Structure 1
Amino acid sequence: MGSGQVTDWQGKHVTVAGLGVSGVPAAKALHGLGAKVTVVNDGDDARAREQAAELEALGVTVRLGDGTAPDSGSAAGLPEGTELIVTAPGWRPDHPLFAAADAAGVPVWGDVELAWRLRKPGAADWLAVTGTNGKTTTVQMLASILEAAGLRTAAVGNIGVSLLDAVLGDEEYDVLAVELSSYQLHWAPSLRAHSAAVLNLAPDHLDWHGSMEAYAKDKGRIYEGNRVACVYNTADKATEDLVREADVEEGCRAVGFTLGTPGPSQLGVVEGLLVDRAFVENRQKNAQELAEVADVKPAAPHNIANALAAAALARAYGVPANAVREGLRNFTPDAHRIAHVADVDGVAYVDDSKATNTHAAQASLAAYDSVVWIAGGLAKGATFDELVAGAAQRLRGAVLIGRDRALIREALARHAPEVPVVDLERTDTGAMLQAVQEARRLARPGDTVLLAPACASMDMFANYNKRGDAFAQAVRELGA
């Protein structure tokens, strides 16, 4: 069932677990290859029914709300005749459907594994990126650099073009910049990238993986079978440990990135320049200038690290230095990622609503010297002591919003007792305007009012985008 030719799939019974952004394309692709596809999905809402009708019109069987989905607690059996399960990334490994598959000897693939297996002969290489934070930005930077080098490419995976569309579509690519989550990597045992990077590792999604060790192991799968370079973060030893543990092709190199002066086989920063000491002749003595720090937008430390990781993967693929510079200059960051909204009365207002966990918020806070911090939301089991202790010297004040704000307030009381704190009880969406007004009251000229919530948004907003939009609108009302 591996080569992806139609004859391999004709009449094969495949169960797709979950609709959504990965399940629907998977079901369509498999049906198009001649497989007999059954989709199982816990939800039976209007969106699911709409997707089900679309698939059923093609001849795909769809079972909605049948108790085989996550958290159902049901010992769900396999649909009759199932020879393969293709799962959406969010379905947990301890799901009863997968236990039944294991007992029956039925393999379980994710959408990434399916895409990898369906590649055409001579298909594009994959340059892959994972990490707790920074994946999307790094992959977008990488795609911009590859485009500047004249290569046919796309940012795919969790973002942009779907992986299945990229490998099955008519458009031909030279190389793909692939964002991969820990969920996707868990279900992608045969993926073998040209080169890959793990940007950082911090506790996240532990409810899904079961432990930090299991989470790290799944992230580390990205290095398995790499041919040219395993890119790691010298400031995060856990990423280097994953490289050491990986089984790679002979000749594949470990390449570090650092915000300091790079050693041999590293990329780093020297006097305002991004430099390469990995992909140059005589790397013991030589370095190649790639770009200026000012070419990175925004030039916050964690974003410079993202740029170095993207540059390392591009250089591993043979991209010239001038394309790195041009690609970084051409790159425009997504909204709500450390985005400068406005200056009002000498105070900068910055939207990093995408900082939905403590690791992302830590990187964001480190980018500014004096901060009035707007934080709070859904903690997802996180603790805040380490984050607050590390940022205490930078905090002018804090304004707390959202359901789990007390956890941050208590950490501030322990580690930054001198910092003034405003605790907003209201949880309607209008609370953001009040939060910005309170932050303005605390701020002094030269300060930055920073929305870096360290929490998810769904207690008050539909998503982090809506939260960031509310912040930006509130800032515009200040300056009106």
Structure 2
Amino acid sequence: MQQHCLILGGGLSGKAAERLAASLGFSTAILSDSPGLDADAAVAEADLIVTSPGMKPLVSPLWQAAMRRAGKGQCEFISELEFGFRNWPGKLLAITGTNGKTTTTELTAALLTAAGVEARTAGNIGLPLSELAADLREGKLSPDALPVVEVSSFQLERCDTFAPFAAALLNLESDHVDRYAGGFAEYAAVKQRIFDRVAPENRVYGLSMDSPVPRRVTLYGDALMIDEEEVLIDLGNTALSAVHNRENLAAAVELCLRVLPLETVLSPEFRLAIHMFQPGRHRQELVCEKNGVRYVNDSKATNPASTVAALRAIPGTVVLLLGGLDKEMDFSPLAPFADRIRFAVLYGECRAKIAAALPESIPTADCGMEFERAIRTACDHAQPGDTVLLAPACASMDMFRDYKERGDRFAAFVKQL
């Protein structure tokens, strides 16, 4: 009898899981929560339930119904990441953390490619891992391909065999607390599951974290060192000189050292790839400079820690745009930067919560749910030498499709002004 695979959520991950399940001979269906849906009846016939990362455990009736069935041993309930991994026969690398995941994933793949490895970005960036697994099954991808997988806490929640060859945990900061009944402690514990089935010597911790295993990559001033003997590169001449990007590069090189010989990492081609790498859009992206004021789009700053990283990287005083969708985060880390913030423009769903966390010495304006008004207000308060910085410290989905749309709107309106 043909087994039935039910996929929860119809986004990129859900469609990738459906494609992989069909290639494995399952009958398939995609389902999302909707008013009036009988969730228990909807999951009753599934032998395997695969969830997309966008499904929210605390509020999704389908997720909760799937958990009840799985708890009784009536079906298996796994994440799309786990489904893809079970059908990937080779090695893969994985990267998680609150901030820096995307840059580190892109950087690791770029460095491996320069070394002649057929690296593929996957997971929370690029293609879902199930998509790569389906490509491999259909002969569209070489079996020599090495996925470099960006992994979110959402994707780790229903994993029980996920075992990267090597993995990196970059940092742990306040984020997505609204998703976990146990608050930050549960969020951090889920993140750390990335190491559950990774050999201790292949566990990479970000430079801001304590590492129980010796680091091979260290920083001395601008010099990135390997094994405290070899200088790999002078970071002052790269696009990765900011503190957070130095940490991203260190993790990327650590991962490369787990799959490449030292002489390859020290090769001219590898060093050139570091020099040539440029972080993606919406990451401290200079939009323009006019009348002595710089306008910077860091829409990817979706939590307070990433906004702090931007404030540390950008010199001088800033007019800061803050706000968006709250994830029950702690905004107090912004307070020590009061002397750097000339003016704070607040907008979006959690603007009042941010205002309460800022010192009274920072003047603010509340622009409600009007993003263009917020941008105009920020521009009006900027003085020569300032940076107008969009680093919202929040998710974007209260007003935008995603952080990319938010950043694009900021850049377009700034140029229009």
Task: State TM-score, norm by structure 2.
Answer: 0.88
Does structure 1 residue 214 correspond to structure 2 residue 214?
Answer: no
Structure 1 residues 436 and 89: alpha-carbon distance in aligned structure 2, compared to 1, 3 A threshold: same
SS at match of 2:68: helix
Q: 1:193 aligns to what?
A: 164
Offset of residue 404 of structure 1 = 2.2
Does structure 1 residue 119 correspond to structure 2 residue 88?
Answer: yes
Q: Is the 8 A contact 1:311 1:324 kept in 2?
A: no
Q: Which runs of 5+ in 2 are unaligned?
A: 59-63
| Max Rg structure | 1
Range that drifts further, 138-147 or 201-210: 201-210
Does structure 1 residue 78 correspond to structure 2 residue 39?
Answer: no
Q: 1:316 aligns to what?
A: 258
Offset of residue 295 of structure 1 = 4.9
Alignment of 1:30-429 (within 5 A): 30-43=21-34, 66-68=37-39, 75=40, 78-80=43-45, 82-93=46-57, 95-120=64-89, 123=90, 125-169=91-135, 170-172=140-142, 173-211=144-182, 212-227=184-199, 228-237=201-210, 240=211, 254-255=213-214, 265-277=215-227, 286-318=228-260, 319-322=264-267, 323-369=269-315, 370-384=317-331, 386-412=332-358, 415=359, 417-425=360-368, 427-429=369-371
Q: 1:435 aligns to what?
A: 377
Percent identity between the aligned chains? Answer: 34
SS at match of 1:430: helix
Q: Which amino acid aligns with 1:129?
A: I
Offset of residue 312 of structure 1 = 1.0
Structure 1 residues 190 and 110: alpha-carbon distance in aligned structure 2, compared to 1, 3 A threshold: same
CA deviation map 1:321-370 (0-9, x unaligned): 23442222232322111111122122222110111111211111111232
Q: 1:28 aligns with which of 19, 31, 37?
A: 19
Q: How many residues align?
A: 400
Q: How big is the alpha-carbon RMSD for the aligned residues of Structure 1 and Structure 2?
A: 2.3
Offset of residue 195 of structure 1 = 0.8
Structure 1: distance between partners of 2:400 and 2:27: 40
Q: Which runs of 5+ in 1 are unaligned?
A: 1-9, 45-64, 69-74, 245-253, 256-264, 278-285
Structure 1 residues 39 and 207: alpha-carbon distance in aligned structure 2, compared to 1, 3 A threshold: same
Q: Is the 8 A contact 2:163 2:198 kept in 1?
A: yes
Q: 1:444 aligns to what?
A: 384
Q: 1:51 aligns to what?
A: none
Offset of residue 32 of structure 1 = 2.2
Task: State TM-score, norm by structure 1.
Answer: 0.77
Tell me which of the two structures has the higher relative contact order, counting C-alpha pairs closer than 8 angstroms and 6 or more residues apart: 2
Offset of residue 43 of structure 1 = 4.4
Structure 2: distance between partners of 1:408 and 1:93: 26
Q: Is the 8 A contact 1:352 1:452 kept in 2?
A: yes
Structure 1 residues 399 and 438: alpha-carbon distance in aligned structure 2, compared to 1, 3 A threshold: farther
CA deviation map 1:298-336 (0-9, x unaligned): 532112211111111112212512344222223232211
SS at match of 2:338: helix
Q: Which amino acid aligns with 1:229?
A: N
Structure 2: distance between partners of 1:90 and 1:79: 21
Structure 1: distance between partners of 2:240 and 2:320: 19
Q: 2:61 aligns to what?
A: none
Structure 1 residues 161 and 457: alpha-carbon distance in aligned structure 2, compared to 1, 3 A threshold: closer
CA deviation map 1:25-62 (0-9, x unaligned): 21222122211223332249xxxxxxxxxxxxxxxxxx
Offset of residue 19 of structure 1 = 1.8
Structure 1 residues 16 and 419: alpha-carbon distance in aligned structure 2, compared to 1, 3 A threshold: closer
Structure 2: distance between partners of 1:374 and 1:11: 54
Q: Is the 8 A contact 2:319 2:378 kept in 1?
A: no
Offset of residue 154 of structure 1 = 0.9
Structure 1: distance between partners of 2:309 and 2:41: 42
SS at match of 1:154: strand
Structure 2: distance between partners of 1:171 and 1:226: 25
Q: 2:9 aligns to what?
A: 18
SS at match of 1:366: helix
Q: 1:59 aligns to what?
A: none
CA deviation map 1:363-415 (0-9, x unaligned): 1111123222121222232232x222222232222222223222222222xx3
CA deviation map 1:215-267 (0-9, x unaligned): 22221111122244111124234xx4xxx6xxxxxxxxx25xxxxxxxxx342
Structure 1 residues 174 and 14: alpha-carbon distance in aligned structure 2, compared to 1, 3 A threshold: closer
Q: 1:464 aligns to what?
A: 403
